[in-house]
Amino acid sequence: MVLFDDSETSPVLTETTRVVHGLRVPMRDGVELSLDLVRPDLPGPLPVVLVRTPYDKVSSRDGELYVKLAQRGYITAFNDCRGRFNSDGVFRPQADEADDGYDTVEWIAAQEWCDGNVGMCGGSYGGQTQWYAASRRPPHLKAIVPFCSPPSSLWRNEPIFGGCWLVGTAEWAVAMGARSWQLLNPLTMLSEHQPYFDTLPLAAVPGAAGVSSPWWDEMMEHPVRDDFWKRREYEHPEDLAVLNITGWWDMNFPGAPLNFEAMRAGPSAAKQQLVIGPWPHVVNTSRELNGVDFGEEAVIPLYDHVIRFFDRWLKGVGNGIEDEKPVHVFVTGANQWWAEDDWPLPGTEEVPYYFRAEGGLSPEQPGIEPPDSYRYDPAEPGLRAWSLHDGPVDDGPATPRKDAVYYTSEPLTAPLDVVGWVTCRLWASSSALDTDWHVRLTDVHPDGSARFLCRGALRARFRHSFDEPELLEPGKPTLFEFTMDGTGVRFLPGHRIRVEVSSSAFNRYDRNTNSGADNPFTDDTIVVADQQIHHEAGLASAVVLPVVRR
């Protein structure tokens, strides 16, 4: 079945383009941002697709998608974010992108070479800049295509997930410098453990690499979701066409489906699309990831689909894209694309798999069973190196850890499709005033490999609210409910489902020192914690799987 039909893509109109360098775009506060254009050799005015990036606009210009757009009659505009490369001002992550994005869109729309229809495109932070601009509702912004965008809240994914800090943000601070890259090859960033990650407290990590970062220092002063963070959240506009694209192992995964859900709840529901593939943070480049081959359907004509989307919403081409299924998800194991009516998938059933005695995992609730115990020492956090490019890594070689417990199902006798949001209901107790809970879901193959699917995290003090932390009563069994983001997998017969519970996911996330300090970002007091995971009647820990019966 063909789910991505490129037969309606607009034809190539010209292969001749020219670059216009160094346009200056005035912001409302007088700061000027630098903008380059790639203009097709066609009479204007034309629709414009804008890319706003902190990663050097020049390096984006020859991207395959933007070349294709120019050939099909779009001007592509590339904008350095405030304080980056050729733009004036001071870079403060997320803080200025909403107003700057609005001003840039409307400045473009007022130029004689623009026909008044502006779209935006880009990935990662360049996906985030689209949402910030859209949140201010510029009248001429008609469509956006965010690849791998983080979600609205900076406490939902990066730099903070469940109260735990993404350590790689420190390497980002080191690599970005004040205005330009401080790495010979930025593509190597977030791919291996850096010695300065081991520094405590967290606030001192960039300094250990010899870097001074004012915006990092400012963030370290805000250990709860206060107004500093809330001002950096974006709102979803009422009327905008959006094509959200991500991969199951994208470090920003929840952004795309969360933003899709938010926009589907509004008046522009018919203009929303979601694509989730078997990809990491860099999407649609290979059918194989971490030694797992997802088949010939894993790589799709994605850029042609993007062009069709812009054709419809910037040029007004009646290609019928809005009449197609809005959700496309790749289900691993089955190695199939599914075209669906919505996300979460209609008819999804939430099925708890309960932690059981002797490491069992079962849909059957537990009876009288003793808890499992382990000790977490922040000085020895059980390093599991994380890479931006990781996907279904094999957790098998990393197990068993002394500072973790594992729960594994019996081999399945029939296929089980699990597609959607995964959550954890964890009954646990700690000897400490504060600690972290990290949970990983894996697909255990008959050969013993345990292929990573998704993970969740929660700093115990934030179990009720990220705004108002509450320390633990040591030794008291407490319920912790938190997201594990999502997955799309068919567990095949003979495979088993495994859940790992620990108190550290270092080096992906910072270590909780367990001290209960008011600001854990600036505290280096180490407290060893004795942890218990409960699974008995009334204290039944479980991972809740989104099961789809097809």
**pLDDT tens digits, 41-56:** 999 899 999 999 999 9
Are the CB atoms for 103 and 34 separated by under 8 Å?
no
Q: What is the mean pLDDT of the chain?
A: 96
Instruction: Give the relative orientation of helices 125-135 and 97-109 as an angle to the nearest 10 degrees.
Output: 80
In 409-504, the DSSP E strands lie at: 416-430, 436-444, 450-459, 478-491, 496-502
Residue 141: per-residue pLDDT: 98
Residue 5: per-residue pLDDT: 64
Residue 397: per-residue pLDDT: 77
Residue 2: per-residue pLDDT: 47
Active-site residues, by number, are 124, 250, 281
Are the CB atoms for 529 and 435 separated by under 8 Å?
yes
3-state secondary structure of 469: coil
Query: How far lies 423's CA from each of 367, 444, 460, 483, in Å?
Result: 22, 19, 16, 4
**pLDDT tens digits, 442-473:** 999 999 999 999 999 999 999 999 999 999 99
Q: Model-level pTM? A: 0.97
Residue 62: per-residue pLDDT: 84
Residue 398: per-residue pLDDT: 65
Cα–chain-centroid distance for residue 337? Answer: 21
